[in-house]
Amino acid sequence: MGRLDGKTALITGAGSGIGAACAELFSAEGANVFCADLDVGAARDVADRVTERGGSAAADAVDVTKRSQCEELVAGTVERFGGLHVLVNSAGVTPRKAPLDWDFEEKWDWVIDVNLKGSMLMSHAASEVMLPAGYGSIVNLASIIGLVGYSTGMSDGFNPYPHSKGGVVQMTRDMGVAFAKRGVRVNALCPGFTYTALTRSLTDDADMRVHLESLHPMGRLGEPIEIAYAALYLASDESSFVTASCLPVDGGYTAG
């Protein structure tokens, strides 16, 4: 018996990294999974892997900065699978991926729009289904850098990534408290540096990788599946008394 039997999970950023790991793990635990990503081809590849293993999956494109697309995605998930029980807000960007000719304000707007506004819009759309049903779990992907300042020399104080993830942390707490008596739980994961497409430009640099590893007391970086298992706990009924929490999954980074 799976830990998510009978549940439907909608996962943004499901085309790669932590989102893809969540989709495959949640399916293995019995969930229907709807994989959404701006790169719809990548999302479909993940959904295909799920169905090839006997799972139930669908995929579609989404730009989480667009309210109409978020609402349509939730409606499509409910239409396809008959309900929505879990939302994982894994879509995210870093200013390292921004066009080289953008100035600090353009990077700020883009990162805040995707990481913070996108999580808000998806959560708002999902809440329109979950709150009337009196059941649901929203799992936001924040970051250790939403809890502490950068100590890696990657911020001049205007890097929008820690600011966006700090906003996700506070949004999680506020939303979790607001929904607490209505059956919908809202929590966040705060991963340490993890091997994903967003960190590849850092981890491909041997000196930087060694430096990052030294910041984690466990002496290594995380793998997407390790974050996905924490998301599984928050998505499942095993965490039924957990809401408005922000869980570091960081190899000891924030305590070191």
Q: Which of these, 243, 223, 219, lies nearest to 233 by C-alpha position?
A: 243
Lookup: tokens for 39? 């790169």
Q: d(Cα 46, Cα 52) in Å, to the nearest integer?
A: 10
CB 20 within 8 A of CB 227: no
- Placement of tokens 């966006």 in the chain: 164
- Catalytic center residues: 161
Q: Count of alpha carbons within 13 Å of 85, Cβ hemisphere only?
A: 19
Lookup: tokens for 131? 């709150």
Number of H helices, E strands in the chain: 9, 7
| Residues 6+ positions from 204 with CB-CB distance below 8 Å | none
| Residues 6+ positions from 178 with CB-CB distance below 8 Å | none
CA distance to 60, 106, 135, per residue, from 46 (Å): 11, 31, 27
> How many C-beta atoms lie closer than 10 Å to residue 254's C-beta?
14
Q: d(Cα 4, Cα 254) in Å, to the nearest integer?
A: 30
Q: Which of these, 25, 33, 89, lies nearest to 62 by C-alpha position?
A: 89
Amino acid letter, residue 197: A
